[in-house]
């Protein structure tokens, strides 16, 4: 993968010193020593990194000169943080009382989950090595945000560079918030982002993701640290793109921590998503659940690797994982793998995986009641996909995500 | 209303219906009985146009239209309804949502105004009450986790909401206890009027005790071999199908 090193770490880029200097140098050292993952690295074998080698990225690091796009309308009020081409302009942020935004400091960077002995975490190291902007968003203790925080991520048609946004969201003790990550890609650049989420004791975060990367390559690593009595619920709708890679690690660090991830990927054309999720039960009792569904049409490729790891001492933990997959054409491919690793006592853990197609009997049944064939197929796809969102709490953001799913499936 | 002439139907390369004639007038209820494998369900599927049920010969006229020219959903919009012997489970598709979508798809196809959510729910709740069905079933996925009786009653609920001109009930009585059977029969009787017709496929006389058919037909080896009034069903109940074989001999 030396070609990728040349492509993504060009010599012509200056090594910006500053307070992040030592971290950058460490990151570069790891990258130079281990390089980028190749097909023989198990967790990266389905991610077509060759696409990045074939692209010519511009070296510019400053803000794009093109005007920022208007934000698409949401059917409810939200506090907006807009990143365009991977950069955030703080002057454009509208944050409510109880929420602060400040530049990330080196002390805010947690390296504990980063593997420095192999290429597995190369893109997270790259993010650090080439960090342009890092932001820390803090929600005060006991703040209950009425409006969701909208993290709007856009890329213009002319976006042809590599951006490395890095964000850290911290919820204080007893805080409650909804974070919506809404991403729309266009240009042929690469967004290599890192999002760290720290949930204080007894806090609750509802995290909705709606993503359609299109031509923009996206590699994102999200790490969620869930502390005592706190809860993380992630709901994902991903329309994929030429290369969409998401690592989502949820660490259950204290007693009665809860994590849930429910995702739907709706793929067509030549789009690809590659999701790697992991729940780390570090302390018991803690609970986790996951339901991830992929619908793949045309020549698209869907990858899901879900891991539940119950560590020694995390006794009385409970976990369940389900992955359902629907192949809609002969040319589509889905690779799905649930993994369980249990080292504790008195735990319950279950996992299941299914791959199927549109059920002809159900299709006939719907048509016999008056729906057209196209409507029947759309409804069956919607029914299959929407089941992943069954636990989505009622309210405008949840309804919005469900409506986005309906739109994707033409229902 | 329905006029079937010399109908031949192939399934998987085998001829199952072998020259069937049947005429059902407006407002009539016809019962079709017959031994297993005689082609009763095949007739139902062929009439609603299921893929794999190939009509090789004959004609089916439904209110002046050639039914065989229509797609499945066009037949539904024209007023045809088949209550399935084994209703299909559709995970993830909300029962009420599906039913309203189906009703509005039919209405749209007929050039009628779509039904708004409030009027729809009011109507469905009334029908549920009459069928003694739990309102919670509306929020569940179509037929998923329903008991056998609930599935059959759900078919009748769909029929009551969609208001077809001709309903074909394929062994809707199978697997029902006496109370559920009465509810299903009452559901059918509530819908009977001078413009709506029924074809009831059944193995047993007991459903016909409640429905009082105008005509009873016996289907054997793909043909109607005997027709008569209610007394024919009673005779079948007493003597089985053996007397037909004796008559043929």
**A110-119: per-residue pLDDT in tens?**
998 899 989 9
Is residue A377 pLDDT above 90, yes or no?
yes
Q: What is the pLDDT of residue B248?
A: 59
Closest chain A residue to B164, measured at CA: A369
Cβ(B15)–Cβ(B9) below 8 Å: yes
Report CA torsion sign: A228, A230, A236, A241.
negative
Cβ(A245)–Cβ(A190) below 8 Å: no
Q: How confident is the model at residue A317 (pLDDT cuts 50, 70, 90)?
A: very high
Q: What is the pLDDT of residue A338?
A: 94
Is residue B22 pLDDT above 80, yes or no?
yes
Best residue in A359, A360, A369 for a mutation probing chain B (most B CBs within 10 Å): A369
Is residue A14 pLDDT above 90, yes or no?
no
CA of A392 vs chain B CAs: smallest distance (Å) = 14
Is residue B132 pLDDT above 90, yes or no?
no
CA of B203 vs chain A CAs: smallest distance (Å) = 23
Is residue A154 pLDDT above 70, yes or no?
yes
Chain A residues with CB under 8 Å of B82 CB are 368
**Alpha carbons A307 and A322: distance in angstroms, whole number:** 11
Pick from A51, A60, A79, A58: which is nearest to A148 by CA? A79
pLDDT in tens, B185-201: 998 999 999 999 999 99
Please name every residue paired with A223 in a beta bridge, in sequence order, or none if there are none.
A196, A249
Q: How confident is the model at residue A331 (pLDDT cuts 50, 70, 90)?
A: very high
Closest chain B residue to A389, measured at CA: B92
Chain A residues with CB under 8 Å of B101 CB are 371, 375, 379
Helix axes B148-162, B117-130, angle to 10 degrees: 130
Q: What is the mean pLDDT of chain A?
A: 92
Tell me if the bond preceding A400 is cis, omega within 30° of 0. Answer: no
CA of B97 vs chain A CAs: smallest distance (Å) = 10
Is residue B134 pLDDT above 90, yes or no?
no
Q: What is the pLDDT of residue A19?
A: 87
Is residue A15 pLDDT above 60, yes or no?
no
Chain B residues with CB under 8 Å of A371 CB are 73, 101-102, 105
**Alpha carbons B77 and B80: distance in angstroms, whole number:** 7
**Alpha carbons B20 and A177: distance in angstroms, whole number:** 67
DSSP label of A388? G
Chain A residues with at least one Cβ partner in B under 8 Å: 359-362, 364-373, 375, 379-380, 382-387
Residue with the bigger pLDDT between B243 and A226: it is A226
Cβ(A283)–Cβ(A314) below 8 Å: yes
Q: What is the pLDDT of residue A61?
A: 64
Chain A residues with CB under 8 Å of B165 CB are none
Best residue in A352, A363, A368, A410 for a mutation probing chain B (most B CBs within 10 Å): A368
Q: What is the pLDDT of residue B6?
A: 96
Is residue A64 pLDDT above 70, yes or no?
no
pLDDT in tens, B144-200: 989 888 899 899 999 999 999 999 999 988 888 888 888 889 989 999 999 999 999
Average pLDDT over residues A207-232: 96
Is residue A274 pLDDT above 70, yes or no?
yes
CA of A235 vs chain B CAs: smallest distance (Å) = 17
Q: What is the pLDDT of residue B246?
A: 63
Is residue A10 pLDDT above 80, yes or no?
no
pTM: 0.90
Q: Chains A and B: how many Cβ contacts under 8 Å?
A: 78
Percent of chain B with pLDDT over 90: 69
**Alpha carbons A196 and A199: distance in angstroms, whole number:** 10
Average pLDDT over residues A186-197: 93
**Alpha carbons B60 and B70: distance in angstroms, whole number:** 11
Q: What is the pLDDT of residue A3?
A: 80
Average pLDDT over residues A307-321: 96
Chain A residues with CB under 8 Å of B93 CB are 379-380, 382-383
Average pLDDT over residues A185-214: 94
């Amino acid at each position: 993968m030396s070609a990728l090193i040349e492509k993504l770490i060009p010599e012509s880029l200056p090594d910006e010193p500053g307070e992040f200097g030592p971290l950058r140098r460490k990151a570069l050292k790891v990258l130079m020593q281990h390089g980028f993952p190749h097909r023989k690295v198990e967790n990266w074998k389905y991610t077509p990194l060759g696409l990045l080698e074939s692209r010519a990225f511009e070296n510019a690091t400053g803000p794009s000169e093109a005007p920022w796009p208007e934000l698409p309308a949401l059917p409810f009020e939200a506090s907006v943080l807009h990143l365009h081409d991977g950069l955030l302009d703080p002057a454009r942020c509208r944050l409510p009382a109880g929420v602060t935004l400040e530049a990330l400091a080196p002390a805010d960077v947690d390296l504990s989950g980063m593997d420095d002995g192999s290429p597995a975490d190369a893109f997270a190291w790259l993010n650090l090595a080439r960090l342009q902007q890092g932001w820390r968003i803090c929600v005060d203790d006991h703040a209950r945000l009425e409006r969701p925080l909208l993290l709007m991520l856009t890329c213009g048609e002319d976006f042809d560079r590599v951006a490395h946004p890095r964000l850290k969201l911290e919820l204080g003790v007893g805080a409650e918030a909804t974070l919506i990550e809404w991403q729309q890609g266009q240009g042929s650049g690469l967004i290599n982002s890192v999002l760290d989420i720290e949930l204080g004791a007894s806090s609750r975060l509802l995290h909705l993701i709606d993503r359609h990367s299109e031509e923009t390559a996206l590699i994102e690593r999200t790490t969620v640290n869930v502390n005592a009595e706190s809860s993380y619920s992630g709901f994902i709708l991903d329309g994929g793109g030429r290369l969409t890679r998401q690592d989502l690690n949820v660490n259950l660090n204290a007693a009665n921590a809860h994590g849930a991830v429910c995702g739907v990927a709706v793929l067509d054309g030549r789009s690809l998503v590659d999701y790697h999720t992991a729940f780390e039960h570090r302390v018991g009792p803690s609970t986790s659940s996951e339901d991830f569904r992929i619908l793949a049409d045309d020549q698209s490729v869907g990858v899901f690797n879900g891991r539940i790891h119950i560590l020694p001492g995390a006794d009385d933990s409970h976990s369940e994982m389900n992955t359902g997959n629907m192949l809609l054409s002969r040319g589509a491919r889905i690779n799905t793998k649930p993994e369980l690793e249990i080292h504790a006592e008195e735990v319950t853990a279950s996992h299941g995986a299914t791959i199927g197609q549109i059920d002809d009997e159900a299709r006939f049944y719907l048509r016999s009641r008056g729906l057209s064939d196209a409507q029947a197929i759309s409804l069956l796809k919607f029914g299959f996909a929407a089941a992943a969102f069954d636990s989505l709490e009622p309210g405008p953001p949840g309804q919005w995500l469900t409506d986005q799913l309906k739109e994707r499936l033409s229902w | 209303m329905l006029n079937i002439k010399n109908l031949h139907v192939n399934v998987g390369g085998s001829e199952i219906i072998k020259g069937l004639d049947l005429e059902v007038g407006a407002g009539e209820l016809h019962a079709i009985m017959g031994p297993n494998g005689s082609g009763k369900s095949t007739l139902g599927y062929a009439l609603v146009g299921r893929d794999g049920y190939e009509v090789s010969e004959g004609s089916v006229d439904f209110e002046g239209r050639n039914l065989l020219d229509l797609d499945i959903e066009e037949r539904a919009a024209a007023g045809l309804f088949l209550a399935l012997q084994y209703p299909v489970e559709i995970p993830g598709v909300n029962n009420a949502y599906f039913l309203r979508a189906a009703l509005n798809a039919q209405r749209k196809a007929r050039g009628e105004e779509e039904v708004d959510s409030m009027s729809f729910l009011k109507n469905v709740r009334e029908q549920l009450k009459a069928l003694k069905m739990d309102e919670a079933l509306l929020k569940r996925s179509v037929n998923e986790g329903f008991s056998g009786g609930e599935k059959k009653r759900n078919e009748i609920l769909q029929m009551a909401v969609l208001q077809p001109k001709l309903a074909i009930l394929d062994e809707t009585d199978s697997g029902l206890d006496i109370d559920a059977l009465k509810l299903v029969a009452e559901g059918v009787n509530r819908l009977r009027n001078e413009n709506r017709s029924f074809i009831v496929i059944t193995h047993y006389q007991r459903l016909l005790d409640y429905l009082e058919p105008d005509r009873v037909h016996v289907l054997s080896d793909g043909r109607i071999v005997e027709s008569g009034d209610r007394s024919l069903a009673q005779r079948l109940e007493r003597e089985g199908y053996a007397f037909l074989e004796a008559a043929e001999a």
